[in-house]
Every structure is written in structure tokens, then in C-alpha cells.
């Protein structure tokens, strides 16, 4: 199948949507589909062969955060040309309402259009004002996907209608099957934390507070901490008996991260909130490491209500210590959670996720109609066609 994917944000800037589009494009190509990605980016940078530039992007603030987007007549022409030349079987637009190439391609195309919503939005006057405009773009969309429950809720509440929930993927093949870090997991038991050390929402303070209680039962217990932050400052602020049990790795590479996951008996995710999904949790599960997570909504969903991972009461160090001790006591339960976690992670493997997305493509392409340029009802579209005919393109 020939798939055209539209990414609204600058390809070279870091961001969740860009990573998602890249991973999806790669996974689809592995499944044997032909993929072209249209994204704003400067023309002179090195792009993967499947990415087409929609022109340079400008930084604007939208929906509460800064985004690098592209719009205007030049971009519109590039979008139309890409759709015309692409002859796609299906057009997959990400964040269709972002004021960038996404909404432009919704207007410029007809035929099978799939849209994926990533972020959740607050009800705002701006959103209410753009509602009629958004509606004309949404009418073009044959199938809607949301990557998280929060994104789906936004859609249901603000725009009406529903969306299929297809979560972010994780590349399972990148985890497991590596050697632990030297000196780990060691003789006694070991725990792992991953994330910014000075970000309260990541919850390291909850875990550190629980550590003495865990050590009462397991005197040898050690904690491996991987994540950026002021390590020295942080270590000095800790009580001596806690600091002696903790090793800080600082910011780690993807490779070291994969090794860290297999260096511990239990991966602990004490995040206190603000997680919409929990990709790190899945990465730990893909490594075969049993996970212990706070019982926030997103995590409970990932561990399937406790079947594929243990949970403790959010922000409660005593409960964390209780469950952690029970897990460290019970090697059989750890092995079981490791196995269940691995199975669960495979449900979120990019290959599985991409197959789900292809099912959606199949559902909207049954009639065999291809994506084509839409001129109907659009004065601008008619003028641009006239313009092109004049130039004999």
C-alpha cells in the first residue's frame, strides 16, 4: 500500500509527534508498505529518503506550547503538489487541527484520509472560534485514531464523534538480550529508577523515602538511578544510610538504558502524575524486568490492572515499601510478572501497533478509491488549478 504521512511539526526539532511519525514510517516500511512523509523542515538538512520537505518552519505558540509549524501559500502549493504526485492509497494526517501542513492537507485532499490525535487540549475560546473551520477539515477524515485515552476524550468532548484508540509503540527488539551493567544486579537485591531526578512528578523522592523500610527487610538492597539532574547536589541532600545504597548514572544513552533495565530485580516507576502513557514502563517490560508502578491511570492501563506488573498507592512510600518487599521476597512472582510483562509489551510493539494502523487503512480503502486533490467548493483551489493550467504544468 502507498501511504502518505503528514507530520505538522519541524522534522529536525525533538518532539513526541515527530518520534511517533518516524517510528510508524519505519515500521510500515518493514511491513512492506511504501511510505512518504511530508514535514516542515529546512531544505538544506539531511533527510531520510522517505521524508519530503514542506518548507521552512516558524516557531509559534499554539495550544499552550511552542511549536515549529509551516503555512502560507508556498507551503500550500507544496502540500498540493505532494498529494497530486504521490498517488497515495491512503493519507495519514497527524494532529489534523494543528495550524500547519496537517490542516492544509486535509483541505487539499479527498479520498481515504486517516487522522491521528496526539495531545489533549483544554476547552478554549480559540478552539471554540475555530470550530466551524475545524469541522470542514474533519469532514474529510474517514477514520480517527487517538494515541491515548486523554487525546480521545478531547476529541469526544470538543469535536463530537469517537476515535479508535491505538497507543504509541515501543520497539521491543531494542530491549532484552543485553548484558547487565558491570557489578549489577549483584548479590543482594537491586531496584532501578529512570527519569529526571529533580522532577517531583517522576517521583524519585517517594522511592527514596521508602528505601529505609525496604532495607529493614533486605539489608543488601541497592538502587540504580538513571536520569539527568544535579547528581552531586542531590546526593549531598540525602541521609548517609540512603546515599550509600544509591548509584547515580546521570543521563544515559539508549544502549546503557537497555542494559540498566536488566541490571535490576525490579524496575520502579513512582511517577506521581502527568504521564499520559508510560513508554518507559513498557520498555522495562520489554526487557523482561518485573515492574512496580504507582497506580496512576496511565500506568494501571499499561500493566493491565495489575496482571502484567505490580502497583502501589500513588505517593505512598509505606505502600511502595510493602509491595517492593513482597516482590523481593518472592522470586517466583517476579519471574511470573517478568513473563506477563513481556507478553504485554509485545502487544505494544511497533510491529503490532503498525499492523493495527494498517487495519484502519484497510477499513477506509475497501472501495479502492485513491487520494486525490480536492478542488470542490474551494475558490482558492480552483484558482490554483487555473494558475497551474496556465503554466502548463
Partner 1 sequence: MDWLTEILIAAVVLGAVVVYLSSMAGRLDRLHHRIETTHAALDAQLLRRGAAVQDLASSGFLDPASSLLLSAASQETLVVDPDDDARRFLVESELTRTIGAVLDTREDVEEIQAEAGPDVGVADQLLSELAVACRRVELARRFHNDVVRSALQLRRKRVVRWFRLAGYTSMPTTADFDDTPPAGLAGR
189 lines the binding site for partner 1 (CB under 8 A): no
139 binds partner 1 (CB under 8 A): yes
Alpha helices in the chain (DSSP H): 16-30, 73-86, 101-108, 125-129, 131-138, 149-159, 204-217, 231-236, 240-243, 254-261, 279-286, 297-302, 317-329, 331-347, 350-364, 379-391
Q: Can you tell me the distance from the alpha carbon of 154 to that of 152, in angstroms, rounded to the nearest whole number?
A: 5
Residue 351 interacting with partner 1 (CB under 8 A):
no
**Contacting partner 1 (CB under 8 A), which of 14, 64, 73, 161?**
161
Asked whether position 152 contacts partner 1 by CB under 8 A, the answer is no
- Does position 80 interact with partner 1 (CB under 8 A)? The reply is no
Give the whole-angstrom CA distance, residue 62 versus residue 100: 11
Stretch that binds partner 1, among 47-55, 92-100, 131-139, 291-299 (CB under 8 A): 131-139
Beta bridge partners of 267: 192, 291
Which C-beta is closer to partner 1: that of 265 or that of 349? 349
Please report whether residue 253 would count as binding partner 1 according to CB under 8 A. Answer: no
Residues whose CB falls within 8 Å of the CB of residue 383, separated by 6 or more in sequence, listed in order? none
Rounded to whole angstroms, the Cα distance separating 274 from 330 reads: 31
Q: Which helix (H) or strand (E) holds 268?
A: strand 266-269
How does DSSP classify residue 370?
P
C-beta closer to partner 1: residue 22 or 140: 140
Residue from the set 61, 65, 253, 367 that interacts with partner 1 by CB under 8 A: 367
CA dist 300 and 302 (Å) reads 5
Please select the residue that binds partner 1; options are 20, 110, 118, 152, rule is CB under 8 A: 110
Q: Is 35 helix (H, G, I), strand (E, B) or coil?
A: strand
Stretch that binds partner 1, among 44-52, 82-90, 161-169, 204-212 (CB under 8 A): 161-169
308 is a contact residue toward partner 1 (CB under 8 A): no
392 belongs to the binding site for partner 1 (CB under 8 A): no
Residue 132 interacts with partner 1 (CB under 8 A): yes or no: no
| 149 sits near partner 1 (criterion: CB under 8 A) | no
Residue 157 found at the interface with partner 1 (CB under 8 A): no
Burial class (CB in 10 A: 0-12, 13-18, 19+), 354: buried
Does position 236 bind partner 1 by CB under 8 A?
A: no
Q: Which is nearer to partner 1, 195 or 309 (CB)?
A: 309
Count the site residues for partner 1 by CB under 8 A: 31
Query: CB neighbours of 365 closer than 8 A, spacing ≥ 6?
Result: 1, 89, 90, 112
Stretch that binds partner 1, among 52-60, 136-144, 244-252, 258-266 (CB under 8 A): 136-144
The residue ranges that bind partner 1 (CB under 8 A) are 110, 135-136, 138-144, 160-162, 164, 343, 346-347, 352, 356, 359-360, 362-364, 366-367, 369, 376-379
Amino acid at each position: 500500500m502507498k501511504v502518505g504521512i503528514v507530520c505538522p511539526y519541524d522534522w529536525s526539532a525533538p518532539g513526541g509527534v515527530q518520534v511517533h511519525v518516524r517510528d510508524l514510517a519505519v515500521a510500515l516500511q518493514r511491513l512492506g508498505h511504501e511510505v512518504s512523509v511530508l514535514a516542515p523542515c529546512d531544505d538544506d538538512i539531511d533527510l531520510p529518503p522517505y521524508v519530503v520537505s514542506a518548507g521552512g518552519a516558524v516557531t509559534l505558540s499554539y495550544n499552550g506550547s511552542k511549536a515549529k509549524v509551516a503555512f502560507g501559500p508556498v507551503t500550500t502549493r507544496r502540500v498540493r503538489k505532494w498529494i497530486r504526485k504521490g498517488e497515495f492509497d491512503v493519507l495519514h494526517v497527524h494532529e489534523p487541527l494543528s495550524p500547519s501542513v496537517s490542516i492544509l492537507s486535509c483541505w487539499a485532499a479527498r479520498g481515504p484520509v486517516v487522522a491521528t490525535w496526539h495531545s489533549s487540549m483544554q476547552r478554549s475560546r480559540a478552539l471554540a472560534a475555530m470550530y466551524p473551520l475545524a469541522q470542514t477539515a474533519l469532514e474529510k477524515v474517514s477514520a480517527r485514531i487517538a494515541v491515548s485515552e486523554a487525546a480521545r476524550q478531547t476529541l469526544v468532548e470538543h469535536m463530537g464523534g469517537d476515535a479508535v484508540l491505538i497507543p504509541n509503540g515501543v520497539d521491543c527488539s531494542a530491549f532484552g538480550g543485553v548484558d547487565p551493567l558491570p557489578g549489577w544486579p549483584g548479590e543482594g537485591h537491586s531496584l532501578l529508577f529512570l527519569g529526571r531526578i529533580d522532577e517531583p512528578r517522576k517521583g524519585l523522592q517517594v522511592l527514596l523515602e521508602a528505601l529505609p523500610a525496604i532495607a529493614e527487610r533486605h539489608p543488601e538492597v541497592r538502587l540504580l538511578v538513571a536520569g539527568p539532574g544535579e547528581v552531586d547536589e542531590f546526593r549531598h541532600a540525602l541521609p548517609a544510610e540512603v546515599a550509600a545504597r544509591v548509584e547515580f548514572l546521570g543521563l544515559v544513552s539508549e544502549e546503557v538504558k537497555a542494559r540498566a533495565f536488566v541490571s535490576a530485580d525490579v524496575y520502579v516507576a513512582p511517577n506521581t502524575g502527568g504521564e499520559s502513557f508510560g513508554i518507559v514502563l513498557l520498555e522495562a517490560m520489554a526487557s523482561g524486568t518485573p515492574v512496580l508502578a504507582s497506580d496512576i491511570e496511565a500506568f494501571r492501563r499499561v500493566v493491565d490492572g495489575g496482571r502484567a506488573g505490580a502497583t502501589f498507592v500513588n505517593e505512598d512510600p509505606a505502600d511502595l515499601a510493602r509491595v517492593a518487599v513482597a516482590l523481593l521476597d518472592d522470586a517466583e512472582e517476579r519471574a511470573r510478572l517478568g513473563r506477563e510483562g513481556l507478553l504485554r509489551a509485545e502487544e505494544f510493539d511497533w510491529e503490532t501497533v503498525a499492523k493495527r494502523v494498517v487495519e484502519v487503512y484497510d477499513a477506509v480503502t475497501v472501495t479502492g478509491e485513491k487520494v486525490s486533490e480536492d478542488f470542490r467548493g474551494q475558490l482558492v483551489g480552483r484558482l490554483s488549478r487555473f494558475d497551474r493550467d496556465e503554466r502548463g504544468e
